[in-house]
Structure 1
């Protein structure tokens, strides 16, 4: 097996190296489940011992030798001990000790749980006596010799339980192994499938690369579809779970088809004894949720293998058994109708249209679009107009508007007004969001409002017209219309829709605090409307996140993103919700200056194969590329966004306008970028979009033309909510007035908000003013501040930062500066680097002078933030 470079797990490795060298103990035992990467961690720990001072002796324990006395030491000691020798333990220990040749003996024991008792006692005796240090691995859940367990229980060595790879570790490992970064969606998917098991990750990635499911797309690795199950991976799974009795195989198969499944239901289908044994062997995990015991697979890949190996006839029988078991107890839980309907179809038992429609709606409520669509299609036969409308709506929200259009065109005209209104709503949504025909959609809604006689269906149409008006970034009109609607007695779903539209309009108008209040009001009542309109979860959260973006409150953005993630947990199949979450995360990362992270988050949606309304994500991706100076790539991405997006009538075009500003700046056309920003600001002002206008005007300031934006930014600062626009106005005033102290105050303000790219640009402006008015020496501190802030922004290349050079520190000055920043004294630095104390002081003083700082605290702020 090809060996990947070691990557990730930095903190774990630091902890283990510290424990392995701890003078109060004799080493460390690394414990964890199979395949988690214990041996690799141990190998890296061993490289941190000084080669000239230690003798490393590897000990490989195996199952085959576990019953043979000294079996693990067979290659290290003579085959026969001297005749008539009484203390064979001492003899074996001395033979091992002889390998040290006067150095410190380090025993590297892999799979210590497989040590035979004699070898274990020999190794333990050397460790207890302080004659050897130990770096060992052992598998949790396996019996381990008492001699080994006593070592950490009695404090002779430290035990360290290692966890599976985190998503950050998975990203680092794959980047090192593949030579380029994987996008965020790929990391999350591989982390879910493998649960951070390093061995499984290797095999899954190799199989996915061989099949083409994992490939580089526009500079990043992207996983498309589910990774295949290669024979070697299947063999590994079977090796892990061991031979299964028919009863255990039943437990595994039922769980694979139905998880999460009640433990009592599972035991009734198999047996209590089989379930207990399956849990003991790690085939399933059982947790208690209130009074109910829930069983899940011990690892996701167990289910993949079980389902792949399941013959079709037995699969159908298993599903039929599951239906019978659940129906015998009654469908008491909310999700039961969905589960039993899915199992009926899989078991060949069939289902009537009404249960299929109910199940489809439940799947939609769970944001499982592929399943909801499959059930909706099954309900078409005999389901009538209601089934057609539900399927068309699902297809639209699942980014398949052409299929939705075909369903709508085949739907007969309903006779009753409520159903006719539903058809109009579906047609208008498809026209606007799927066909980019807002005018036709609004005309259709206006005609329906005049024709419908009953108030309830007519009001539904009005609510839809409000939603399209708000999304079209017409806040004044939408606010008037929403106020009229809120004066009526609305149902929960209608009221939530109106609140959502009003909140979006308030957000665009710069009234972000009011908007967040309305979002929270709608979400508080989600239980009353979620089943009727689950897709509303997405725009509410999107507005919430945008309020944080426009106000400069990253905490608000983080809260919205966390809530959206929880609300969309289990999302399957591309939908507007997935795109909204990616866009919010990407915007938050960009606002923080984490440009590389923003690209990772936005890469998957920006390169989605089929979705037709990913333009917002693509435009954000292009903007991030432009901020990194990647002009050609940004231009191509933006062009693709305009070609792909089927809702150009929305605020999407305002985002495009803002992106064009930074594409021009990346191309070196700063004057043109300023013109584009001013034009975008004027358009937004005319449309009442104060939030977009403020961003565009601050872009003018960031590009170095503050006088053109100062007056209007000052006006907006008095009415627009949030600190971002106020800092933008201060930025314009300080730059226009040549006030370096004011600019540094602005940089400090943006840094406090977490907006480090904006802070870096303000500090760079201060450095330029100081250099021009007071000379290079006076500009050093501001230059260092800008360099430090920009260094935390993952590759920015904006006009304000292009002339910024890193402080000219020598390697030795940088070493001394880093140690000083870490709190070490001159004497400690001199001893560590092997230099005179006066030399250490001189290097520190040079670093202070070049960086323009005067204390270890200021030094730490600059260096730590940069790194």
Structure 2
């Protein structure tokens, strides 16, 4: 019997049967459909697992839905030697009187297209395995135009001559199907899970699968089956390191099963040591075996100057082989790797570090000093490995240096409370050790654990202790840090004095002490609102941290990164701020720096909130908080408050309420943030009076912190929530010494609202939009429209309303009191509203005219008025407007 396909409408964003999403192939599908529409066939070629068959099925479904008759065949190695073996299931029992004669191909081709109710579209999977007779039939159908063929084939396999000729003659179009890109991987995983997966897990899935759809599906399936994927606070979190599923292991084994003992040994060594220098590998493996592995596409070689590195062709091979090795086998492999590296020498830093880690994993003796050196090198790129090395150094008698490294590794891993517990037990022996320990603890206490008083005490004890040979410049920085922790940022800047000028000039000494001076100066500049100066200083300090490499403490680097994002955001350059935050966040993911990932993800969420991209902000906060314990990462309550307010503006009130129920208003460091989130949530609930009362308490709490950045953001919320008159004077004093565009713009907005000056609000719209915040611009325009309308100025009111609505479309459905002043339908006449609703449903002007008994011209005129009033460009944008 013929294998027919019933036309089934495709579900947007996924498969028709819901089994696994089909996304990320829009461009490929467009190109493929265009070829079929032009009357040509299609050859989808690519490596195993990239989704050739899935794409072919989607194309065949589309053709079936268009009325064409679809048949599918599958070529296999079992049918490759049987005439018509692949097409046999589609053919009648008898083709004619002489089925084995010279007309067999012709008879089979005629039988396939006989008595059809439409044009035949023939799909053949794995066309490289077609038997010669079936290939000839496919060729005849395609060349004569009797049918359209859709073929899939492995790119690394030889095609039958007939199929190759089809491509050469242009009867079929070849489309090379590759792996999904990163954005498509993120999309398909989110749809498969039905929700957001945290960024660290997405990064790991991308790293392991390299975008191979089959590997991705099997990895997600495996993680769910093994219980490693779980949903926490609305985000899927991947814990542990699940190995490949049974199905994926079977697929990988098919590539590995044909290896001989020497080749198997080689891939196992690479699994544990990749990338390995060729010189090292050749001490362990026959070069001919390596050559065969590379020709079999199991090993890849890369040239770096005079050095050649080898690695496995896909990360999942390494996962599979490492997961199957017994502890005894792992120890043996690591010992062999260490011996080979020692035999060729370890001149490069990377080689020395790897030698140390291999000796440790092989249970060979390693000097504690060497372990500490390796841990220091890995701290920025692999804090988990750095922690293992530092722990080993500590156990081997590494003393203070090993203990400090362990503490720093815990901080970099987002385990701030554990880090402080360990650091508090360390006993420094020199002044240098005292300074390093105190500054590390203080930074952690202040920024990660929200304890400025304890931070100040730690540093104050440092200043009161013996100075020995301490550099006077270092003591200046210590005293300025104390002032910062005590929230006296003006005094901190005064203490730094000319040192700040040196830092801004970029001519300061390139050492760790200078980097700490940058960190302290950054905190002081942010505290007093000198945001433009801070952008220069934070970038200079970041450059120094990069130059110092592993000598720069990871918390110092992260502080300067935070300062750079904050400086751009509070100066009014939100687009640059979010771009920097996203880039640094991606870097933290790649380096597996949990602490930096949490902080920078949270900063991205804050900036996105100010921009008005409330869904993106909610996603960023969720990602930053995924699987994080309270007290174990930097300022978790602040990030949770950010999640609550973003979720509220995005319409997720249940989420906002649940998050706020878990937060305490009493903590001095977090009080302003939590109260601000409560105010926004109250406003979206419609409880405006309570929202105003709450946000004014938040303003008091923010100003009590003596932090210009925090005070500006919370006061701005008060203005946006309708309490401009209560904060305008405090804003004026705050902004007086502030750098950047944002502060003066917020003050101007507050004064315009207090004065009822619609024209002044109109003048602010372009400025807020230029800062990168369509939401702030839309709110100002909406407030201007409300004032114009109240004064009876219909023309300016309509113009401001249209502008506000146009800007609000970029705000991901944000709900704020200012935007609710617009009312999507209040200024439309009943007839305009009726026409708008029908147009939004997709009806043409003629269809609307017939339904409402109007002329087409009248309908078009009404739509032009509707578009102008609502600030939309046409039917597509009209469909996004709430017309209920």
* Pair in the same fold by TM > 0.5: yes
1:557 matches 2:573: no
Distance 2:474 2:458 in 1: 13
Distance 2:252 2:208 in 1: 13
Residue 562 of structure 1, CA deviation: 5.4
Aligned to 2:741: 723
1:624 matches 2:646: yes
SS in 2 for 1:382: coil
SS in 2 for 1:285: strand
Is the Cα contact below 8 Å between 2:203 and 2:589 reproduced in 1?
no
Cα 1:168–1:669 change in 2 (3 A) is: same
> What runs of 5+ residues in structure 2 fail to find an aligned partner?
1-14, 503-507
1:181 matches 2:196: yes
Residue 547 of structure 1, CA deviation: 1.5
Residue 626 of structure 1, CA deviation: 3.0
Residue 742 of structure 1, CA deviation: 5.3
TM-score norm. by structure 2 comes to 0.86
Cα 1:733–1:667 change in 2 (3 A) is: same
The CA deviation string for residues 183-216 of structure 1, in whole angstroms up to 9 with x for no partner, is: 4444333333332222222222222222322122
Residue 29 of structure 1, CA deviation: 2.7
> Which of 832, 838, 846 is the matching residue for 2:862?
846
Residue 106 of structure 1, CA deviation: 1.3
The CA deviation string for residues 277-311 of structure 1, in whole angstroms up to 9 with x for no partner, is: 22333323333334433333322221111001123
Cα 1:769–1:28 change in 2 (3 A) is: farther
Aligned to 1:588: 607
Distance 2:317 2:705 in 1: 56
Which residues in structure 2 correspond to 1:11-160 (within 5 Å)? 11-12=26-27, 14-16=29-31, 18-23=33-38, 25-49=39-63, 51=65, 53-78=67-92, 81-82=95-96, 85-98=101-114, 100-101=116-117, 103-160=118-175
Q: Which moved more, 1:267-276 or 1:564-573?
A: 564-573
> Which of 351, 355, 359 is the matching residue for 1:340?
355
Distance 2:33 2:189 in 1: 26
Cα 1:52–1:569 change in 2 (3 A) is: closer
Cα 1:172–1:384 change in 2 (3 A) is: closer
Aligned to 1:801: 819
Residue 744 of structure 1, CA deviation: 5.2
Residue 517 of structure 1, CA deviation: 0.9
Is the Cα contact below 8 Å between 2:650 and 2:815 reproduced in 1?
yes
Over aligned residues, Cα RMSD in angstroms?
A: 3.9
Cα 1:284–1:853 change in 2 (3 A) is: farther
Residue 515 of structure 1, CA deviation: 0.9
Residue 376 of structure 1, CA deviation: 0.8
SS in 2 for 1:503: helix
Is the Cα contact below 8 Å between 1:213 and 1:223 reproduced in 2?
yes
Which residues in structure 2 correspond to 1:782-821 (within 5 Å)? 782-783=800-801, 785-802=803-820, 805-806=823-824
1:315 matches 2:311: no
Aligned to 1:387: 402
Distance 2:130 2:544 in 1: 60
SS in 1 for 2:170: coil
Is the Cα contact below 8 Å between 1:606 and 1:615 reproduced in 2?
no
1:480 matches 2:502: no
Is the Cα contact below 8 Å between 2:575 and 2:772 reproduced in 1?
no
Aligned to 2:564: 544
Distance 1:562 1:609 in 2: 19
Is the Cα contact below 8 Å between 1:183 and 1:604 reproduced in 2?
yes
Aligned to 2:8: none
Aligned to 1:823: none
Residue 312 of structure 1, CA deviation: 2.8
Distance 1:592 1:752 in 2: 11
User: What is the aligned length?
Assistant: 851
1:232 matches 2:247: yes
Which residues in structure 2 correspond to 1:696-845 (within 5 Å)? 696-710=714-728, 720-736=738-754, 738=756, 743=761, 746-774=764-792, 782-783=800-801, 785-802=803-820, 805-806=823-824, 843-845=859-861
The CA deviation string for residues 404-450 of structure 1, in whole angstroms up to 9 with x for no partner, is: 45544654563x43344445445545655676543344234323323
Distance 2:852 2:817 in 1: 43
Is the Cα contact below 8 Å between 2:199 and 2:589 reproduced in 1?
no
The CA deviation string for residues 164-201 of structure 1, in whole angstroms up to 9 with x for no partner, is: 23444334334443333334444333333332222222
Q: Which moved more, 1:531-540 or 1:737-746?
A: 737-746
Residue 393 of structure 1, CA deviation: 3.5
The CA deviation string for residues 111-140 of structure 1, in whole angstroms up to 9 with x for no partner, is: 222222332232233223333223332222
Distance 1:345 1:690 in 2: 49
Distance 1:846 1:837 in 2: 14
SS in 1 for 2:240: coil
> Which of 634, 656, 660 is the matching residue for 1:634?
656
Residue 359 of structure 1, CA deviation: 1.0
Distance 2:733 2:388 in 1: 54
> Which of 342, 345, 350 is the matching residue for 1:327?
342
SS in 1 for 2:73: strand
Residue 373 of structure 1, CA deviation: 1.2
> What runs of 5+ residues in structure 1 fail to find an aligned partner?
821-825
Distance 1:774 1:725 in 2: 31
Cα 1:174–1:814 change in 2 (3 A) is: farther
Distance 2:835 2:54 in 1: 33
Cα 1:407–1:217 change in 2 (3 A) is: closer
> Which of 514, 521, 526 is the matching residue for 1:502?
521
Is the Cα contact below 8 Å between 1:539 and 1:580 reproduced in 2?
no
Distance 2:131 2:588 in 1: 51
1:443 matches 2:461: no
Aligned to 2:617: 598
Aligned to 1:689: 707
Which residues in structure 2 correspond to 1:139-218 (within 5 Å)? 139-218=154-233
Distance 1:412 1:491 in 2: 28
Aligned to 2:297: 282
Residue 353 of structure 1, CA deviation: 0.9
Distance 1:533 1:649 in 2: 31
Q: Which moved more, 1:347-356 or 1:42-51?
A: 42-51
Residue 843 of structure 1, CA deviation: 4.6
Is the Cα contact below 8 Å between 1:486 and 1:495 reproduced in 2?
no
Is the Cα contact below 8 Å between 1:512 and 1:547 reproduced in 2?
yes
Is the Cα contact below 8 Å between 1:287 and 1:295 reproduced in 2?
yes
SS in 2 for 1:323: helix
Aligned to 2:5: none
Distance 2:322 2:298 in 1: 14
Distance 2:75 2:284 in 1: 41
Distance 1:472 1:17 in 2: 65
Residue 259 of structure 1, CA deviation: 1.8
Residue 34 of structure 1, CA deviation: 1.8
Residue 512 of structure 1, CA deviation: 1.9
Cα 1:169–1:812 change in 2 (3 A) is: farther
The CA deviation string for residues 668-710 of structure 1, in whole angstroms up to 9 with x for no partner, is: 3323433444454456556653333332332222113444445
